[in-house]
């Protein structure tokens, strides 16, 4: 029998002639040497001059395999290692189909490792139609690199494709008029984008839209519907927390009642405290974590380089531009006094009502100034009481 490459194999278990260069005798069991290697050693070695089985596979099948690998990649190195294997995989690994299927974990670029090649990688994935890459690169360009137009265009592309986080981010931009003047705010457009993201199940969008309906912010006031959306946000958040706990196979300590969890020392964010439960804080999105780390490193550099008597201005390098007080958000103002302050203490700044609600139950409830005033007033009252 003759193969496509011209190798000749005997059917009677005798000699095996490969390319008419080598001869191998049959084994005592009557099998060829190649079959003996496969059965005994557990590995198959390609004979000299024999066929290359990778070259035999059609391109469509290899692209399908590489796309599955990209969709399940846990780090960017999983994709880059493919390009180092051979020339054919290097060529096929650069196909748009592979970059379009890149997983969210493979796109999670760290702020400390940010470089021009990292930006090109995200841009390549975004050009291939990867919505997650469009969202991450859009957030980085809009809030970190100062490229407002290109960042907003990437966010819009992801939003058109149905990316819930991109829809919510555009809603925040519309609510604040980010990248423009205060007169550029469009509350109705922000509420419409927020409603679209909420329909896709985005927790922050559900919470934001609930507060908008309760306050009549950009929409007609409807406290009952706003309360229903806030409850739906809590239920959705609980569902995601239970699913994450089941996937990690760790005991869900936050499923204890709030008092028992506190007594057991279990940490968490009591977002469902109205129902007697405490949820662990969800991991921030890769884009938010990038912005948090980015501004933390830039803040340290700015503090070291800041000269006495020089204040920040409002056009870009802005030392006076404030970050959202929710530590897992990472958004920064694009102009001075863009974010809303806490109406009680005025010390905290928030890009959205969702971030304010999260930070209130996470930390700000105990940090707000009136608490200190109440304690001080109680102490003064105790001292002034008659003996």
- For the stretch 196-224, pLDDT in tens is 999 999 999 999 999 999 989 989 999 99
Confidence of residue 237 (pLDDT cuts 50, 70, 90): confident
Out of 293-297, 313-317, 360-364, the most confident range is 293-297
> Taking each helix axis from N to C terminus, what angle separates 164-176 and 148-160, rounded to the nearest 10 degrees?
130
In this predicted model, what pLDDT tens digit does every residue of 85-120 receive, in sequence order?
Answer: 888 888 888 889 999 999 999 999 999 999 999 999
For residues 31-46, average pLDDT: 44
The answer as to whether 19 is a domain residue is no
The answer as to whether 236 is a domain residue is no
CA-to-CA distance for 42 and 38, rounded, in angstroms? 5
CA-to-CA distance for 105 and 286, rounded, in angstroms? 8
The answer as to whether 243 is a domain residue is no
Q: Which of 111, 205, 119, 145 is nearest to 334 (CA)?
A: 145
Is the pLDDT at 42 greater than 50, yes or no?
no
Indicate the burial class of 281 (C-beta count within 10 angstroms; 0-12, 13-18, 19 or more): middle
Q: Which of 197, 362, 170, 196 is nearest to 284 (CA)?
A: 362
Is the pLDDT at 60 greater than 80, yes or no?
yes
The answer as to whether 62 is a domain residue is yes
The answer as to whether 93 is a domain residue is yes
The answer as to whether 152 is a domain residue is no
CA-to-CA distance for 336 and 313, rounded, in angstroms? 8
pLDDT top residue among 32 and 132: 132
| Domain count along the chain | 1
Tell me what pLDDT residue 342 has: 84
User: From residue 367, how far is each of 114, 254, 345, 373 by CA, in Å?
Assistant: 34, 24, 9, 11
In this predicted model, what pLDDT tens digit does every residue of 129-180 receive, in sequence order?
Answer: 999 999 999 999 999 999 999 999 999 999 999 999 999 999 999 999 999 9
Confidence of residue 34 (pLDDT cuts 50, 70, 90): very low
Tell me what pLDDT residue 21 has: 47
- Helices marked H in the chain: 33-36, 53-56, 59-71, 76-83, 87-92, 96-100, 116-127, 131-139, 148-160, 164-176, 187-199, 203-215, 223-248, 258-263, 286-305, 353-359, 365-367, 369-384
pLDDT top residue among 257 and 289: 289
Tell me what pLDDT residue 238 has: 82
CA-to-CA distance for 82 and 70, rounded, in angstroms? 10
Tell me what pLDDT residue 56 has: 77
Instruction: Give the residue numbers spanning the domain of 87.
Output: 57-107
What is the percentage of the chain residues whose pLDDT exceeds 70? 68
Confidence of residue 279 (pLDDT cuts 50, 70, 90): low
1-5, 253-257, 330-334, range with the lowest pLDDT: 253-257
Tell me which residue has tokens 């993201």: 197
The answer as to whether 76 is a domain residue is yes
Out of 22-36, 213-227, 280-294, 357-371, the most confident range is 213-227
Tell me what pLDDT residue 220 has: 93
34-43, 141-150, 290-299, 338-347, range with the lowest pLDDT: 34-43
pLDDT top residue among 127 and 306: 127
Contact 212, 226 (CB under 8 A): yes
Tell me which residue has tokens 């009952």: 224
DSSP state of 253: G
CA-to-CA distance for 29 and 247, rounded, in angstroms? 50
Tell me what pLDDT residue 379 has: 73
63-67, 116-120, 211-215, 383-387, range with the lowest pLDDT: 383-387
CA-to-CA distance for 259 and 201, rounded, in angstroms? 29
The answer as to whether 61 is a domain residue is yes
Is the pLDDT at 317 greater than 50, yes or no?
no
Structure token digits, residue 338: 């863009």
Confidence of residue 358 (pLDDT cuts 50, 70, 90): confident
Helix (H) or strand (E) holding 8, with range, is: strand 8-9
CA-to-CA distance for 135 and 179, rounded, in angstroms? 17
């Amino acid at each position: 029998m003759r193969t496509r490459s011209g190798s000749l194999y005997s059917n009677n278990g005798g000699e095996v002639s490969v390319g008419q260069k080598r001869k191998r005798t049959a084994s005592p069991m009557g099998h060829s040497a190649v079959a003996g290697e496969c059965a005994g050693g557990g590995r198959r070695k390609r004979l000299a001059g024999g066929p290359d089985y990778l070259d035999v596979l059609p391109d469509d099948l290899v692209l399908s395999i590489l796309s599955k690998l990209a969709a399940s990649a846990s780090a960017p190195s999983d994709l880059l290692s493919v390009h180092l294997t051979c020339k054919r995989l290097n060529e096929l690994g650069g196909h748009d189909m592979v970059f379009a299927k890149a997983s969210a974990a493979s796109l999670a670029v760290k702020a400390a490792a940010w470089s021009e090649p990292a930006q090109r990688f995200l841009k390549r994935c975004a050009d291939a139609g990867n919505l997650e890459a469009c969202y991450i690169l859009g957030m980085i360009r809009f809030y970190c690199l100062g490229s407002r137009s290109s960042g907003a265009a990437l966010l819009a592309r992801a939003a058109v494709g149905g990316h819930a986080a991109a829809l919510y981010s555009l809603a925040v931009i519309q609510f604040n008029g980010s990248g423009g003047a205060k007169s550029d705010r469009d509350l109705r457009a922000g509420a419409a984008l927020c409603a679209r993201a909420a329909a896709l199940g985005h927790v922050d969008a559900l919470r934001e839209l609930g507060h908008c309906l309760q306050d009549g912010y950009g929409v007609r006031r409807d406290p009952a519907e706003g309360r229903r959306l806030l409850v739906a946000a809590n239920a959705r958040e609980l569902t995601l927390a239970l699913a994450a706990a089941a996937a990690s196979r760790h005991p869900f300590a936050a499923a204890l009642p709030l008092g028992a969890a506190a007594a057991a020392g279990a940490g968490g964010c009591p977002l469902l405290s109205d129902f007697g439960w405490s949820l662990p804080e969800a991991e921030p999105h890769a884009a938010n974590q990038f912005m948090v780390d980015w501004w933390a490193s830039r803040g340290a550099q700015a503090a070291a380089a800041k000269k006495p008597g020089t204040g920040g201005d409002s056009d870009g390098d802005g030392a006076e531009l404030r970050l959202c007080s929710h530590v897992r958000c990472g958004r920064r103002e694009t102009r001075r006094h863009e974010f809303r302050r806490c109406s009680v203490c005025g010390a905290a700044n928030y890009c959205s009502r969702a971030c304010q609600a999260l930070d209130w139950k996470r930390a700000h409830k105990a940090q707000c100034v009136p608490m200190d005033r109440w304690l001080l007033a109680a102490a003064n009252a105790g001292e002034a009481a008659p003996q």
